[in-house]
Amino acid sequence: MAPVSALAKYKLIFFGEQSVGKTNIITRFMYDKFDNTYQATIGIDFLDTAGQERFRSLIPSYIRDSSVAVIVFDVASRQSFLNTSKWIEEVRSERGSDVIIVLVGNKTDLVEKR
C-alpha cells in the first residue's frame, strides 16, 4: 500500500446564477474578508463565471477533475434556487456520483428581502 500524504489536494468548484455571492463566499473563506459592494466577476475566477452564459462551454473541462461542487443560490431569489437543478445536472452529467455536491443558500442576512 502506498503511503498517504498528510496534505491531500481537492478541487472545489463553485456554481450558481449571477450575483448569488460565489466570490464573496470564496473571499470570506480564503481571506476572512467581506466586500459589501457588488462587482461582477469578469471571466473565470476560481471557476466563478458570474453565471454568464458565454462561459458555459468551459464548464465541463473544469468539472472533469473536481472533487466537490458547491452550488450557491441567493435565499432572497426563488429563481436562483430553482436554477440550482441545472447546475447539479451539469455536474452529474460530467462526474456522475464521483463528486460531492453541496447546496449553499447565501445572503441569509438579508431577511427583509426574503
Helices (H), 3-58: 22-31
Question: Which cell numbers hold the place of 60?
Answer: 465541463
Instruction: Give 3-state DSSP helix, strand, coil % of the chain, rounded to 5.
Output: 35, 20, 45
**Superfamily assignment of 12-113 in CATH?**
P-loop containing nucleotide triphosphate hydrolases (3.40.50.300)
* pTM (2 d.p.): 0.76
Q: Please state the length of the chain.
A: 114
Question: Where do the structural domains in the chain lie, given as residue ranges?
Answer: 12-113
Which pLDDT tens digits describe the chain residue by residue (114 residues)? Answer: 667 667 888 888 898 998 898 988 988 888 888 777 766 665 555 445 555 566 667 778 778 888 999 999 999 999 999 999 999 999 999 999 999 999 999 998 887 777
